[in-house]
Amino acid sequence: MKKFEYKTFSMPKTGLLKQKKSPDEKLNKLGQEGWECVSVYAPVSAGTSTEISYLFKREIG
């Protein structure tokens, strides 16, 4: 049976899905380390979202 580990990475945003800084450098580094992005979401609290979160997984062993 395959086993996986998981990691989250969040970036602050401003306005409607407009991020302050591009996540490309961080996302590329994680990809080179074997992490696969499986979900991107913007957690909402009190009707607004202040960040974009990325969920990654990679196989263990």
For 34-56, what is each residue's pLDDT tens digit? 999 999 988 887 787 778 899 99
pLDDT in the model for residue 17: 54
Strands 51-60 and 3-14 come out as: antiparallel
pLDDT in tens, 3-17: 999 999 888 876 555
pTM as predicted: 0.74
Domains in the chain, number: 1
Q: Which domain holds residue 52?
A: 3-60
Mean pLDDT value across the chain: 85
Phi (first) and psi of residue 49, to 5 degrees: -125, 135
